[in-house]
Amino acid sequence: MTAPRAVPIRSSEPIVVPVALAERAYDIVIGRGVIATLGARIKALRPNAKTVILTDETVAKHHLAAVEDILAAGGVASSHILVAPGEGSKNYATFETVCEAIIAARIERNDLVVALGGGVIGDLAGFAAASVRRGLDFVQVPTSLLAQVDSSVGGKTGINSRQGKNLIGAFHQPILVIADTAMLDTLSPREFRAGYGEVAKYGLLGDADFFAWCEANWRDVYAGGSAREHAIAVSCRAKAAIVARDERETGDRALLNLGHTFGHAFEAGCGYSQRLLHGEAVALGCVMAFQFSERQGLLGGNSVARVRSHLADAGLPTRAGDVEGGVPNVDRLMDLIAQDKKVKRGKLTFILARGIGEAFVADDVDAAEIRAFLEEKIAE
């Protein structure tokens, strides 16, 4: 007989952030140990549902057994599907394997897919859920900081095309997000720091007070405890508010892309490798968006210095020279930027800022000015 596996104990009341999307509304439940409530919450939302958990081999080692026990304790039947860890799993072949495995697990329209993992798993599980039987409900259990503050919320799901990232996908909202901050304890320090790039972004794009709070409290966020929960809750509230007013990104939701146009170009230029993680690229991209905004005369004072010194203190790259192995030349970067955001008559769309917490969508940025700016920054 095997010994019962340990189920984590919840240590504090969770923070619940609602995502107000009418008939697609759902809660994000945040806190240390909240995974222990997964079975009961699923039972309350879908009393007769069985579940299939999609996870990767690395996350499975840390969390799968405990999650299966929690579901069983809540009276929820589960099976699981394992995929290889990493961005490489967001491809057609793995998507097919996952869809076939969901069907083989006899998951019907009233059942649930559970995404247990980081952004790759959430995107893949969400898109499979959107597709199998023309749409299954799903629950997000994000296990990385980046997934807890960004990718698990808002319903963007998908896989990569040979021609670019996230080009095949669907908007498909989860019915519940369980963000257990204790699950972040198993992340490497570098992965945690990369997720923090997305946390700081919320302050930079729309909440100067939160950015000031981050400057004062980031060490406590890294250490865990209530500061970490607060940072995740503020980030999720900010994202939930933007998603509630612009679910399909016809306007304001683009603000969430602050730092992403420069960032994606560097990330793609590094082959989406360990040389530059997504959150690191976003941090570098945010510094550049503020520097470019200053160069355009949009902001002054000490904003650029604050952005740069906070992100550097937090251990994130803030200049092109910080990227391991260097960055591509300006021609390649301009090609990558053009692929990421369409150029219309020499004009590009970027998220720029008039100050910390005052980002806006600029759809008339001169490509020649971006080129001159990048030439300067690459040489620094």
Q: How many residues does this entry show for the chain?
A: 380
Which residue in this structure is represented by tokens 């001159």? 372
Let me know if 109 is a catalytic residue: no
Residues 58 to 87: which contact ligand GLY by CB under 6 A?
Answer: none
In whole angstroms, what is the distance from residue 352 CA to residue 303 CA? 13
Among the listed residues 32, 201, 239, 310, the single catalytic one is 239
Please give the structure tokens belonging to residue 313: 């203190």
H helices present in 91-180, as ranges: 92-104, 119-131, 145-146
Strand spans (E) along the chain: 15-19, 26-31, 51-56, 78-83, 112-117, 137-142, 156-161, 164-171, 176-180, 347-353, 359-366
Let me know if 260 is a catalytic residue: yes
Query: Based on CB atoms, which residue is closest to ligand GLY, 263 or 328?
Result: 263
Instruction: Report which of 258, 169, 159, 251 is spatially closest to residue 207, judged by C-alpha positions.
Output: 258
Q: Choose one: 36-44, 148-156, 213-221, 227-235; the region binding ligand GLY (CB under 6 A).
A: 148-156
Let me know if 278 is a catalytic residue: yes
Let me know if 133 is a catalytic residue: no
Residues 287 to 306: which contact ligand GLY by CB under 6 A?
Answer: none
Let me know if 108 is a catalytic residue: no
32, 41, 63, 156: which one contacts ligand GLY (CB under 6 A)?
156
Let me know if 134 is a catalytic residue: yes
Kindly state the DSSP code that residue 380 receives in the 8-state scheme. Answer: -
Query: Based on CB atoms, which residue is closest to ligand GLY, 60 or 130?
Result: 130
Query: Based on CB atoms, which residue is closest to ligand GLY, 227 or 256?
Result: 256
Let me know if 50 is a catalytic residue: no
Let me know if 295 is a catalytic residue: no
Q: What string marks each residue from 212 to 251 as x (binds ligand GLY by CB under 6 A) or -?
A: ----------------------------------------
Among the listed residues 46, 50, 63, 253, the single catalytic one is 253
Q: What angle do CA 98, 194, 243 make, to 5 degrees?
A: 65
Establish if 340 lies at the interface with ligand GLY (CB under 6 A): no
Let me know if 61 is a catalytic residue: no
In whole angstroms, what is the distance from residue 57 CA to residue 41 CA? 25
14, 122, 142, 154: which one contacts ligand GLY (CB under 6 A)?
154
Q: In this structure, how many other beta carbons lie within 10 angstroms of the beta carbon of residue 162?
A: 7
Which residue in this structure is represented by tokens 């072949």? 93
Among the listed residues 68, 191, 198, 294, the single catalytic one is 198
Query: Based on CB atoms, which residue is closest to ligand GLY, 256 or 374?
Result: 256
Instruction: Report which of 245, 237, 183 is spatially closest to residue 210, judged by C-alpha positions.
Output: 237
Query: Based on CB atoms, which residue is closest to ligand GLY, 105 or 316?
Result: 316
Let me know if 230 is a catalytic residue: no
User: Which residues, in sequence order, are bridge partners of residue 169?
Assistant: 158
Structural Rg of the chain based on CA atoms = 21
Instruction: Report which of 357, 308, 364 is spatially closest to residue 201, judged by C-alpha positions.
Output: 357
56, 68, 111, 150: which one contacts ligand GLY (CB under 6 A)?
150
Query: Based on CB atoms, which residue is closest to ligand GLY, 102 or 199?
Result: 199
Establish if 256 lies at the interface with ligand GLY (CB under 6 A): yes
Tell me the number of residues near ligand GLY by CB under 6 A.
Answer: 5
Among the listed residues 278, 308, 310, 341, the single catalytic one is 278
Among the listed residues 87, 215, 249, 358, the single catalytic one is 249
Q: Choose one: 38-46, 63-71, 106-114, 150-158; the region binding ligand GLY (CB under 6 A).
A: 150-158
Query: Based on CB atoms, which residue is closest to ligand GLY, 128 or 255?
Result: 255
Establish if 278 lies at the interface with ligand GLY (CB under 6 A): no
What separation, in Å, do the N-terminal and C-terminal C-alpha atoms of the chain show?
Answer: 63
User: Which region, left, alpha or beta, applies to residue 297 given φ > 0 means left and ψ of -120 to 50 means alpha?
Assistant: left
Query: Based on CB atoms, which residue is closest to ligand GLY, 42 or 265?
Result: 265
Please give the structure tokens belonging to residue 232: 């995740």
Please give the structure tokens belonging to residue 112: 């649930």
41, 90, 237, 253: which one contacts ligand GLY (CB under 6 A)?
253
In whole angstroms, what is the distance from residue 179 CA to residue 32 CA? 8
| Min CB(155)–ligand GLY separation in Å | 8
According to DSSP, the β-strands at 347-353 and 51-56 are unpaired
* Interface contacts to ligand GLY, rule CB under 6 A: 150, 154, 156, 253, 256
Q: Which residues are catalytic?
A: 134, 156, 198, 239, 249, 253, 257, 260, 264, 278
